Amino acid sequence: MSQFWVGLTGGIGSGKSTVAAEFVRLGIQQVDADIVARQVVEPGTAALEAIVQQFGEAIRNSDGQLDRSRLRQIVFNDETAKNWLNQLLHPLIRQEMLRQLVDATSPYVLLVAPLLLENKLDQLVDTVLVVDVSEQTQINRTSVRDGSSESLVQSIMAAQCSREERLARANQVISNEGSSDTLPAKVAELHRIFLRMAEEKLAKSLT
């Protein structure tokens, strides 16, 4: 198993997935919190059945999948419903992330989570890597990618850690401004650092 865990995070539009893909290209496994959040509510899971019981059959698509957009609309303005959903899903997501992290076999493993710091998932990892861009870049990239209005992107950003707080809590920072041509070299350098840190942790555990 991978004994060294790297938490990878960044604000919306920072390019976390692009950075993570570079690490994967180097043979490093990743556990993606967003993917895990979908896995725990797949058809046939107890969590999906609980959500259907709570909100009705209309919350399920014709193909049996959870209608995530309808669920977001329900909980967006209903604090009670949101709290109920969080109490159901957060422990399940955390448990499944831990299972996947423990099962990883690469020299170290990435935990990719947009809300790594907000949900205190940084307590699970050995080091925190923040993908950093300016707030204007976040707005521009997300607006182009999702077709979202600037005000919507700003409201999402307001619900996340500020850029200053993320940087203050980071152990490593990778800038993803400008051209992506320089990204492979930056990731390769961090890869060497994490390999060394993983080796050092393993050596300590054997003494």
Band of the pLDDT at 72, cuts 50, 70, 90?
Answer: confident
Domain encompassing residue 196: 1-28+107-207
123 pLDDT more than 90: yes
Residue range 53-71, pLDDT digits in tens: 999 999 999 999 999 989 9
Which pLDDT does position 1 carry in this prediction?
Answer: 74
Please state the domain count of the chain. Answer: 2
Which pLDDT does position 6 carry in this prediction?
Answer: 98
Return binding residues.
Answer: 13-18
115 pLDDT more than 80: yes
CATH number, position 72: 3.40.50.300
Which pLDDT does position 148 carry in this prediction?
Answer: 80
Whether residue 122 sits in one domain with residue 22: yes
Return binding residues for ATP.
Answer: 13-18
pTM score, whole prediction: 0.90
**Interstrand relation of 29-32 and 172-175 (parallel, antiparallel or unpaired):** unpaired
Which pLDDT does position 146 carry in this prediction?
Answer: 81
Whether residue 56 sits in one domain with residue 140: no
Residue showing tokens 């999906």: 48
* Over residues 4-14, mean pLDDT: 95
| Cα end-to-end distance, the chain, whole Å | 18
Whether residue 61 sits in one domain with residue 142: no
178 pLDDT more than 80: no
Whether residue 43 sits in one domain with residue 2: no
Whole-number Å distance between alpha carbons of 66 and 89: 13
Residue range 148-176, pLDDT digits in tens: 888 888 888 888 899 999 999 999 999 99
Q: What does pLDDT average to over the chain?
A: 93
Which pLDDT does position 144 carry in this prediction?
Answer: 84
Whether residue 204 sits in one domain with residue 118: yes
The last residue of a domain, from among 60, 88, 105: 105
**Percent of the chain beyond pLDDT 70?**
100
Q: Could you tell me the CA-to-CA distances from 41 to 47, 74, 116, 129 in Å, in that order?
A: 6, 17, 20, 28
Whether residue 123 sits in one domain with residue 67: no
- Top pLDDT among 92 and 159 is at 92
Q: Could you tell me the CA-to-CA distances from 51 to 22, 80, 152 in Å, in that order?
A: 36, 14, 27
Whether residue 145 sits in one domain with residue 46: no
Whether residue 207 sits in one domain with residue 117: yes
The last residue of a domain, from among 105, 138, 155: 105
Whether residue 186 sits in one domain with residue 120: yes
Whether residue 101 sits in one domain with residue 114: no
Whole-number Å distance between alpha carbons of 152 and 160: 13
Whether residue 22 sits in one domain with residue 71: no
Which pLDDT does position 20 carry in this prediction?
Answer: 97
Whether residue 127 sits in one domain with residue 49: no
